[in-house]
Amino acid sequence: MMYANGNNAKLGDKVRLWNGRLGIVVCSMDTNEYTPAYPKAEWEYLKQGLLIKADNGEVFHYVEADEDIEIVERADARAA
């Protein structure tokens, strides 16, 4: 899945879901990537899209890019 700005979503990306709500990409069914806390065996049934865990603990599944989702920080930028 791609963000509205055209960048591909990556596992671990920090995103703004909407005004004041941040989250982390915890699964990408599109790229077959899952975090240990959200394992493939439990989430692959969704087949496509992203699973994003919001900073309040809620989990959201997006199949298509939502214009409100903005990347705040790349996962690889935090790891560097």
31 token code pair: 């790229």
pLDDT band, residue 78 (cuts 50/70/90): low
Q: What is the pLDDT of residues 37-65, one digit of tens each?
A: 999 999 999 999 999 999 999 999 999 87
pTM: 0.88
* Helix intervals (H) in the chain: 40-43, 75-79
Is it the case that residue 66 has pLDDT exceeding 50?
yes
Percent of the chain with pLDDT over 70: 95
Contact 49, 63 (CB under 8 A): yes
Instruction: For residue 15, name the pLDDT band (cuts at 50, 70, 90).
Output: very high
pLDDT of residue 80: 44
